[in-house]
Amino acid sequence: MQRQRSLLALIIVLVIASIVTIAKVPVRLGLDLQGGSQLTLQVKPSENVKEITPRVMEAVQRVVEGRINGLGVSESVVQTVGEDQLLVQLPGVSDPEQAERVLGGTAQLDFRKQKPGTEAQLGVEFQVRQELQAKQAELQKQGAGNEAALAENQAAIKRSNAAIAELFERSGLTGENLQDASAEPAAASGNNWNVSLKFDSKGATLFADLTKSLAGTGRSIGILLDDRLISAPTVGVQFAQTGITGGGAVIEGRFSAEEANDLAVQLRGGALPVPVEIVENRTVGATLGRDSIQRSIYAGLGGLFLVLIFMVVYYRLPGAIADLALVIYSLLTFASFTLLNVTLTLPGIAGFILSIGMAVDANVLIFERTREELRAGKTLYRSVESGFYRAFSSILDSNVTTVIACGALFWLGAGLVRGFALTLALGVMISMFTAVTCSRTLMLLAISFPALRKTELYCPKVPASNQPQAGVTP
């Protein structure tokens, strides 16, 4: 009895904790439910880059992230999938065409020459952009709800970028001529880092010309990625005669290690003319998603309700107890979804609803056993106990096999499929817990009340000779 009481306490604590969790933590909804675009980008090898290495992927991912920031979407996700694919999720995106256009192109790295007489203006424009970007980051942190402000600010950033790009003229030197860029510690002082560049032979000539014309003028080289200025180094007066020759150069900017690496990755990204192709696009309108949530929730509740009625009608008191356990099961499962940060997709909801149906199975197994024992003339208490005891191996074996199938799905599947496998597997495991502990504890609790000890409540039509006396049960 002591054990029952502590189990009961545990169950109550778990139920309260789940209700609090469900109320406090919002569920993450998949794109199919909240609306938005999910794009899969295929990174393709090109003549210059014959193999897609993790280093290439890192650079491409950085470029894609930069472009998404340019779109002004909050809570976007960019993930590497497999060896050469990127998965981009853009929740609530209102203009999928624009997104597709922006993401599908190849990054353009361009080295430009600052126009004479624009020195003061560049400083001002740069300042403006910095402020706008800070504001954008702030807005994105606030999350959903201020799309209008985000879009407006985004437009301002775009204008600002265009204004800055206006101050430079093309030199003919582009990312195609850049062979490598990497961060390296500055020789002189401890914490400063530089970014070193390496050009091919044509690039080396162009770079020498560019630096020669700018050396000592105070005007800078504009390094632009997708028409956006990412760095504007100036060239020392000592290079005025020949320019920087040899195809190598170092951008010194008192960078931190992180900043230097960041710039190097951006440059490499721009230096990689790897074609990126959109191989999959799944866009769901915002209200369409809301509609499917609503209908799925109705379906879930409808299904649950039918099962609850069936259990009471067929199994009587144990059925009612199983219903209670089922409700507890639903609460625990849903709470664990939110805690484990499971993204709820439409198939995920299906998996959940399905697991409700399957959660009943364990209870059915137990109650059928209990009835058998009662019909065989055992006492109520013994029947209930052995019902649980003898059904356990069936419950274990049958659920483990389901979890094995889920494991295969999760391991080998992708996207939606994984969501389904995870929710179903979680559901099956929690259902084992609730069937074996909740139903059992509640059953034994029920038997402890003399009024609930009538055999008819458990099993109809037990032969009179077999009917145990209520008082005899321990």
Which residues between 69 and 98 bind another protein (CB under 8 A)?
A: 94, 96-97
Number of residues that bind another protein (CB under 8 A): 75
Closer CB to another protein, residue 125 or residue 226? 226
Binders of another protein among residues 317 to 356 (CB under 8 A) are 346-347, 350, 353-354, 356
Q: Which stretch binds another protein (CB under 8 A): 249-257, 278-286, 330-338, 452-460?
A: 278-286
Query: Which residues make Cβ contacts (< 8 Å) with residue 172, sequence separation at least 6?
Result: 206
Residue 381 C-alpha from the chain's centroid: 49
Rounded to a whole number of angstroms, the minimum distance from the CB of residue 207 to another protein is 35
Please state the closest distance from residue 369 (CB atom) to another protein, in A: 9
Q: Which residue's CB is nearer to another protein, number 268 or number 440?
A: 440
Q: How far apart are CA 317 and CA 311, in angstroms?
A: 9
Q: Which two tokens stand for residue 88?
A: 């981009």
Q: Coil, strand or helix: which one is 147?
A: helix
Which of 27, 77, 327, 358 binds another protein (CB under 8 A)? It is 358
Helix 416-433 and helix 380-412, axial crossing angle in degrees, nearest 10:
160
Question: Does residue number 372 form part of the binding site for another protein (CB under 8 A)?
Answer: yes
CA distance 288 to 290: 5
The answer to the question of residue 377 lying near another protein (CB under 8 A) is: no
Residues 97-156 within binding reach of another protein (CB under 8 A): 97, 100-101, 104
Minimum CB–partner distance for residue 185 and another protein (Å): 43
Nearest-approach distance from CB 1 to another protein, in angstroms: 30
State yes or no: residue 460 binds another protein (CB under 8 A): no
3-state secondary structure of 131: helix
Give percent helix, percent strand, percent coil of the chain, each to the nearest 5. 60, 15, 20
- What distances in angstroms separate CA 39 from CA 56, 66, 284, 287, 372, one per listed residue? 19, 16, 12, 20, 56
Binding mask 407-446 for another protein (x = CB under 8 A): xxx-xxxx-xx--xx--x----------------------
Using CB under 8 A as the binding rule, the residues of this chain from 8 to 67 that contact another protein are: 32, 35, 37, 40, 42
| Cβ at position 73, least distance to another protein in Å | 16
Rounded CA-CA distance 146/150 in Å is 6
CB of 172 to another protein, least distance (A): 29
CB closer to another protein, 220 vs 402: 402
Shortest distance in whole angstroms from residue 52 CB to another protein: 15
> β-pairing, 343-344 with 28-29?
parallel
Binding letters toward another protein, positions 290-309, x by CB under 8 A: -xx--xx-xxx-xxx-xx--
Nearest residue to 454 (alpha-carbon basis) of 437, 473, 436, 441: 473
∠ at Cα 329 (326, 331), nearest 5°? 115
Q: Which is nearer to another protein, 94 or 455 (CB)?
A: 94
Interface with another protein (CB under 8 A), residue from 287, 341, 471, 474: 287
* Strand partners of residue 102: none
Phi, psi (rounded to 5 degrees) for 115: -70, 145
Considering beta carbons, is residue 15 or 350 the nearer one to another protein? Answer: 350
DSSP string, 266-335: HHHHHH----EEEEEEEEE-HHHHHHHHHHHHHHHHHHHHHHHHHHHHHHHHHHHHHHHHHHHHHHHHHH
Handedness of CA 226, 270, 82, 259 (dihedral sign): negative
Of residues 393 through 412, those in contact with another protein by CB under 8 A are 393-394, 397-402, 404-409, 411-412
Give the range of 17-25, 174-182, 391-399, 463-471 binding another protein by CB under 8 A.
391-399
Of the pair 253, 303, the CB lying nearest another protein is at 303
